[in-house]
Amino acid sequence: MIQQLSLFPYLETQESARPPDFIPVYTPVLNGREEKYVLDAVRSGWISSLGSYVTRFEEAFARFCGVRHAVSVSNGTVAIHLALHALGIGPGDEVIVPSLTFVATANAVHYTGATPMFADVDPATWCIDPDDVRRRITPRTRAIIPVHLYGHPAPMSALQSLADEHDLLLIEDAAEAHGAEIAGRRVGGLGRIATFSFYANKIITTGEGGMLTTDDDALAARCRMLRDHAMPPHRRYWHDEVGFNYRMTNLQAAVGVAQMERIDSFIRRKREIAALYREGLAGIPGVTFATERAGCTNVYWMVSVLIEPPYALSRDELIPALRACGIDSRPFFHPLDTLPPYLSTAPRPVALHLSRCGLNLPSSPALTDAQVAYVCQVMQELAV
């Protein structure tokens, strides 16, 4: 029998009230060589941004994405900002982003002085809808930032055609989709430049951290220089322009190198977990998954479902009910054009609908089959 909601009324604030086998939405898996490499970095004394782990991490990540260059930075938000700044986006420009994404995508545009313009998303994949992008293009549009939302790749070829037609830059926000593929090609190499996050809940983590990937030699060199206060590699303390300190530390990169050794197994496990959820939740009326488009590989950063009638509870009722049973979950993002800094009078309808009924289930590669089965059982029991 499922525990009733009232048993754990203070879970939001009282850690001690959680049942011992509480299933979090995410836990990073750090039991490879992370400790060994961090200790090695500490003992070497190279604890800031100079050090061999930074280079090793960048090389391994570039190889993984199938691109010529990977430039590490301090987080995924500054990665987007650096990409936009390096490409010359600034005041007066417009950049089209999906309405349904984490706020960082739009904030990074805002930091440059440009204006984020919000496009609706595809009801099947939940990623940016190229038809709506077309409607948002104006003479001021300079770039599109598709987001590979929750691990599913955005429709890059349709967006590339639009970008070519209107002379726009295409910047992938791949923060949530390390290893996702379209027709056998990994994200990170599908636009002019791409950005990744290594926050603790991402497919691989460095605690905080980010990466830019590109095949463009000059752009990669420019990002490297700008992340280090725009100091040219061979002229110390000379600065032709204003840059940033967006560097990653060797300690973070040491964790990253260890994580890269296991990234394929993390992704494999995440796809297995998604398949278990699909099987375990199949046939529950009112519970639906996103479509994995033909030729696309979703890496399921989050395994997500929509909760709609005739399911007995609304999404907002289901979250506390799951929590009472020791299961953590998260609502979808709010559409960015419904947030105070970016408020619009006409929120995008698909994004708005998904944000009201979308739910992220526990998705860590550390989950056991039994834990996934338990979540599915609870959701079955709460369905009627």
Ligand X SMILES: Cc1ncc(COP(=O)(O)O)c(C=O)c1O
For ligand X, the binding residues (CB under 6 A) are 75-77, 101-102, 104-105, 147, 173, 175-176, 197, 199, 210
What is the per-residue DSSP string for 93-130? Answer: -EEEEESSS-THHHHHHHHTT-EEEEE-B-TTT-SB-H
Q: Nearer Cβ to ligand X, position 62 or 145?
A: 145
Q: Nearer Cβ to ligand X, position 227 or 287?
A: 227
Q: Nearer Cβ to ligand X, position 108 or 367?
A: 108
Q: How far is the CB of 252 from ligand X (least distance, A)?
A: 11
Q: How far is the CB of 176 from ligand X (least distance, A)?
A: 5
Q: How far is the CB of 75 from ligand X (least distance, A)?
A: 4
Q: Nearer Cβ to ligand X, position 105 or 141?
A: 105
Letter for the amino acid at 90? Answer: G
Contact indicator for 332, 358 with CB cutoff of 8 Å: yes
Looking only at the bridges linking them, the beta strands covering 169-173 and 141-144 are parallel
Half-sphere exposure in the Cβ direction for 46 (13 Å, CA): 15
Q: Which of 276, 297, 367 is nearest to 328 (CA)?
A: 367
What is the per-residue DSSP string for 256-285? Answer: HHHHHTTHHHHHHHHHHHHHHHHHHHTT-T
Distance CA 156, CA 172 (A): 9
Q: How far is the CB of 196 from ligand X (least distance, A)?
A: 8
Q: Nearer Cβ to ligand X, position 363 or 371?
A: 363
Q: Which residues contact 330 (CB under 8 A, 6 or more apart)?
A: 25, 302, 319, 359, 360
Q: How far is the CB of 103 from ligand X (least distance, A)?
A: 8
Contact indicator for 258, 356 with CB cutoff of 8 Å: no
Q: How far is the CB of 240 from ligand X (least distance, A)?
A: 27
Q: Nearer Cβ to ligand X, position 114 or 321?
A: 114
| Residue in the shown chain whose Cβ atom is closest to ligand X | 76
